Structures are given as C-alpha cells and as structure tokens.
Structure 1
Amino acid sequence: MRRGDDDRAETVDRDHFPDARTPWDDPDRRAEALDWATGRRAAHGLRESGRRQVRLRPWSVLVRFSVAGGRGDRPVWFKAVPPAAAFEAGLASGLADWVPDHVLAPLAVDAERGWCLMRDGGPLFRQVLDEGAGTLADWEDALRSYAVMQRALVPYAEKLTGLGVPSARPLELPGLFDTLLAENEALTSQERAALEALRPRLVEWCAELAAVGVAASLDHADLHDGQLFRPAPGRFTFFDWGGSPRWAGPPPGAGCSPPPALRPHPAAPRPPTGCASCTASRRCDRGTPPVHRAAARSPPPGGGPGYIRSG
C-alpha cells in the first residue's frame, strides 16, 4: 500500500509486470488523470470515500474508486489505455447509445486521451461460476445475448470505423497477415517460410468467409467469463473492448470455448456435432457453416479439436 499524490491510500497491483512503466508512474500524468476523474465523479454527486485499488498492466491502467453518494455506494472505475486502443473510450459511449441493454453506460469519456469513467457492473460471470451459481445454459445465454448485440450493431459498422475501431473484414485479412509477417522480427527463417506457405490457404478461407454474406459487425476478440458481467440471472453486459476489430462473416465468438468451470469431463458423452454458440445465436440453423467445415478439413499445424476459439 502507498499514498497517492493527494494523500489517499492506494493499493497497487502490477501482477507479473513489476518493471513495466505506465502513465500512472509519471506524477504529472497521474495527477492529470486523478483531477479529471475527480471532476467527473463530482458532476455525478460522487465523492471518494475509501482506499483506491490501482491495477497497472502494460496495456491499461485501471483504478477502482470507493465512492459515496451514488446508487448503493458502489465503486466506479477509471480506465486509461495506450494510443493504439484509445478508440475504446469513444466506442464505450457509442455502444451505450446503440445497444444500451448489452453494455455499461460510461459516466464520462475523454475519447481523445482514451479515458473512461464507468459505474460498477456487478459480479463478473467468472465470480458467479466460482460460487457455483452458473451452468452451461448460462454460457449459452451469454453467447445468445452477444449475437443479438452483434446483429443490432450491423447498421453502425461504418460509424465504428469513424471511431477508430480497426477493421478486419475477411477480404482484408490477407493484407493484415502480410503486414504482421513483415513487421515481426522474432520469427526464424523456417517459421517465416512456414507461415508464407500457409498464405494461399488463408486467402481461400477468407474468400469463403466473405461469400457467406454475414454483414460486418463488432467482435470483442477476447470474450471469456472474465469479460462480461452477470448482474442478474439471464442478463449479461459486455465490457473491455480495447481489442475489438470489426469483423464480417460468422462471428469468431462462435468458436468460444466454455469457461473451464463449465467444460465437461473428457470421459463425458460428446454433444451433437455443431457449434453450441452458433445454435444459441440461431446463425447456424442449417447445419455446420462453410467456415467451420473448412477449418475442420484443414487444421493448422499443432491444431486440433477446439482450436477455433477467441482469446
């Protein structure tokens, strides 16, 4: 525990990155962020009332403020992200307007600086599972809710681009693949050659995906039980959109693996062939879609059952 610049007690969690430097380590930038958060809290009648909890990672700064004056005196959260993910703040505001039943509405946003102040979203789905209060049906409900949200966002695809959300439609993926390959200096010559040899297959898969005809929408790109709240049975809200690209075609979430707490024992009977989350979303009611068939025919080296998943 340490004292912040304003003498407020704070606990700092650096996890496995004790040497990582973040803007929070710069006194001037930390004071600027605290001033902003304090002013935005005050605008909502919220005053800080306890110890801060600061979580520092190379990809984000997250601060939990204990507050008084709000609904149930639940905490509020400040988040800052690096420039590459700065679109997340503006995206949070846009999603609150477009799909308010599926996300948290921010208390305040500074889209230019990538700052956001959010209310507490209630228990994580992971916490619900840890307490033994969740089932596989809940996970299917979450994916169904996610698919409903994706469909609702289809009319806003171009607005997502305007917010700076990266675009990764199927026909754009070969170009993104080429860029990543060219900029990666850690690959050995053998690894680079192996990836280059896979490019024709990637182009074929992307063309097949594009031909499916599913409209472009938003994908979370890291959807798991720690990235959604379950404030009440049957209700889910999604958050942490910093890794989101736009995507077209059957959603990557269609391959999401259930949380470990919900995975069946290896000896348990296997479910019917098909994708449970696609069934939940009603996207695959005519059988296994082409993209899944293609992936099943040609798994990548080292792949195997269940390798098609987000995260």
Structure 2
Amino acid sequence: MRDDVMAVVDRGAYPDAVTPWERESWRAAVRDWVDGHLAERGLGVDGPLRVRLRPWSVLVRVPVTGQRAVWFKANPRSAAFEGPLTAALARWVPDQVLEPLAVDAGRGWSLLPDGGQLFRTVLEREPVDPREWESLLGQYAGMQHELVAHAAEIEHLGVPSARTADLPEVFDRLLAANPALGPDDRARLTALRPRLADWCAELAAVGIPDTLDHADLHDGQLLRPAPGRFTFFDWGDAAVTHPFCSLRVPAERARDHYGPEVLPRLLDAYLEPWTGNGRTTARLRRAAHLAWRLSALGRAASWGRMFPAAPGTAPGTAEGAAWLRELLNEPPFAG
C-alpha cells in the first residue's frame, strides 16, 4: 500500500475514537506488512482503501488487482489473540471459518481473504426463511462441540478464560472495575451475587463442558456462502466458557427480525447437538435459560477490549454497565 493510495475512512458513531491509525509510522508499518504478504502471492493493491475505525479495531478493505479484496485487521492488545485463534480454528474446523493469509500475533494484526456475502446483506436484500437461523445455530453448536477438545489450547493462545465455575469471580472483577454503574445498580447487582453463584453451580452440574464462545455472533459477523451454510469470523470478543452463552446474541437478532415465536425452534436447533449422555430436553432448556442470563458477563467483559484511550476517558464502560444490568432481567423463555 503506497503512501499515495487513497483511503476512505469510516468512524461510525465513534468520531473521537483513539486508534493507531492516527499515527503515520503505524500506517507505514501496516502498508509494508500488507504489501509484503501480497507480493509473496504476486499481488498488489488496486484502488482506494476503505478504513473502518472503532475503539476496538481497525479494519481495512484492501482492493487487490485481479481478484477479490483482502482485509487487514488490527486488534488492541487485549484482543490480540484473534489472529492466532483464527489460524488455529482454520486447522481444527477448516470448513467453518476463514483461513488467514497472514498473522502477526505480537502486533495483533491479521490479513484475511474475502469470504463473500455477509448474512446481514442477504437479510437486507431478500426474504430469508427463519429455518436459515436454525441451520446457523445447529452448525455453530456442532462446531463448538468439536472444539471442546481444544479448550485448553484456545486458552493458551490468550483467549480469556471464563470457565463456568469461575463466572462468580468474573462478575466480581467486572463489577469492581466498572465506574459507569450508579450506586443503586451496584447495590442491586451486589445483592444478586449469591443467586448468580447458584446459577453457575447449577449450570456446571449439567455436565456440558466449557468450550469456545464467540460472544457476539450476530448477522454482521457471519458469512453465508450458500443457503443453509455459514462461515464464522470476527473472534475478538471470544472467551472459553459455557457454550450455551453463545445462543443469546443470534437468537435476539432472529427474534428482532421475525418475532418471539421463532425462539422455541431456534432453541431446539441449538440444543440438538448437545443431546445424549442422559441429558433430558428439560435439563438442557434449563441450562440454556441459565446461560442466556450469564452470557451478559461475556458481553460486559468484551467492552473492556479497547485501544488505549485518551486521558480522562473510559470507552466501553457505559456499554459494559448496560450488560451487567442485563443480569437482573429474566430470559425470554422458561427454563
């Protein structure tokens, strides 16, 4: 990417976000790194870059001569595991994820191929049967099941550990560290702590092993290369925790799209790969009910993975506080 390559910059709802993109030396290093990996493949940049700046990532669409664009992504240090995790997933579950073209774990950089259409784009363009979401959740749960054997390796890559039995301590850390909670909310959450510990113990007793939780599996983090088939990407919010914590985000998006009547079938589609070993449907539904509520901890934690902010600012704390308050709310299905 030469110095004279134009860039179209999108800051979204975060015009004041502080990212490394503001530093010319950093941009120059990125240009050299991307150019080098493209040159290894006999490729070069062809056209303006499209840059998306957020407090949690720098994402650059790089047009390439004669083929689909590639994507450069930079994570903050707290989410620098995403590149190594993506590479490892491409080895373990190659048909489910994107395989990175290059990863620099030390700098939190990844270079990824274009994986095709976002599921969100498909939803905006044409009617989509809700059974597509059932296929999505069944495929994703099956992948999580395959990754159970790799949970310790995933943690070794730097992915945060939030094991089911340890979630009360995760709650304690998040509550203590969040300055955006008012005294009333803080008191209500503190009073909830004994019940939360009971939920975690009950959930762990079901016997579903901890594995990879994407933690933000919405329609903008999914590719749909073909009807009923999905590719999973964007692992910067991930953690190793109870797998059922993954259900909430996609189920909420589908509910928003089709209405609450889709939830029972989505729940069945997600839980089907976890049947067996004497687990009853009622017990799995109870586990999903508990994990739906506890998933708020993972979402709250992910808002702490930001680039270093300007002095006196605390990006993500308001969003993290909102997710902690979600612990006070009942899930939208019985359990």
Q: Could you say which TM-score interval applies, normalised by the shorter chain?
A: 0.7 to 0.9
- The alignment of Structure 1 onto Structure 2 pairs a total of residues equal to 299
1:117 aligns with 2:111: yes
> Which residue in the other structure is 1:167 paired with?
161
Partner Cα distance (1:48, 1:295) in 2: 45
| Contact kept? 1:254, 1:277, Cα under 8 Å | no
Alignment of 1:84-233 (within 5 A): 84-233=78-227
CA RMSD in angstroms comes to: 2.8
Q: CA 1:58 to 1:273, structure 2 compared with 1: closer, same or farther past 3 Å?
A: closer
Q: TM-score, normalised by structure 1?
A: 0.87
> Which residue in the other structure is 1:20 paired with?
17
Q: TM-score, normalised by structure 2?
A: 0.81
Alignment of 1:29-48 (within 5 A): 29-48=26-45
| Contact kept? 1:169, 1:216, Cα under 8 Å | yes
Shift of 1:300: 5.2
Q: Secondary structure at the match of 1:229?
A: strand
Shift of 1:264: 3.2
Shift of 1:31: 0.6
> Which residue in the other structure is 1:305 paired with?
332
Shift of 1:232: 1.4
Q: CA 1:55 to 1:293, structure 2 compared with 1: closer, same or farther past 3 Å?
A: closer
Partner Cα distance (2:81, 2:263) in 1: 39
> Which residue in the other structure is 1:65 paired with?
62
Partner Cα distance (2:115, 2:101) in 1: 12
1:252 aligns with 2:245: yes
Q: Secondary structure at the match of 2:258?
A: coil
User: Once the two structures are aligned, what percentage of the paired residues are identical?
Assistant: 49
Q: Secondary structure at the match of 2:225?
A: strand
Q: Which moved more, 1:199-208 or 1:286-295?
A: 286-295
| Contact kept? 1:67, 1:76, Cα under 8 Å | yes
Alignment gaps of 5+ in structure 2: 294-325
Shift of 1:187: 2.3
| Contact kept? 1:125, 1:230, Cα under 8 Å | yes
Give per-residue Cα distances to partners, 1:119-160, cap 9 Å, x unaligned: 001000111111115221111111111011111111111111
| Contact kept? 2:164, 2:210, Cα under 8 Å | no
| Contact kept? 1:274, 1:287, Cα under 8 Å | no
Q: Secondary structure at the match of 2:52?
A: strand
| Contact kept? 2:221, 2:233, Cα under 8 Å | yes
Which amino acid in structure 2 is aligned with residue 142 of structure 1? L
Partner Cα distance (2:258, 2:266) in 1: 16
Alignment gaps of 5+ in structure 1: none
Partner Cα distance (1:128, 1:208) in 2: 39
Q: CA 1:63 to 1:292, structure 2 compared with 1: closer, same or farther past 3 Å?
A: closer
| Contact kept? 1:139, 1:258, Cα under 8 Å | no
Give per-residue Cα distances to partners, 1:160-213, cap 9 Å, x unaligned: 111000011111111111111111223232222211100000000000111111
Partner Cα distance (1:213, 1:37) in 2: 45
Partner Cα distance (1:296, 1:54) in 2: 34
Shift of 1:277: 3.6
> Which residue in the other structure is 1:234 paired with?
228
Q: CA 1:41 to 1:307, structure 2 compared with 1: closer, same or farther past 3 Å?
A: farther
| Contact kept? 2:189, 2:328, Cα under 8 Å | no
Q: Which moved more, 1:238-247 or 1:226-235?
A: 226-235
Shift of 1:96: 0.7
Partner Cα distance (1:245, 1:23) in 2: 25
Which amino acid in structure 1 is aligned with residue 232 of structure 2? F
| Contact kept? 2:255, 2:262, Cα under 8 Å | no
Q: CA 1:188 to 1:270, structure 2 compared with 1: closer, same or farther past 3 Å?
A: closer
Of residues 276, 281, 287 in structure 2, which corresponds to 1:291?
287
Q: CA 1:239 to 1:202, structure 2 compared with 1: closer, same or farther past 3 Å?
A: same
Give per-residue Cα distances to partners, 1:264-287, cap 9 Å, x unaligned: 357xx6775882343454548832
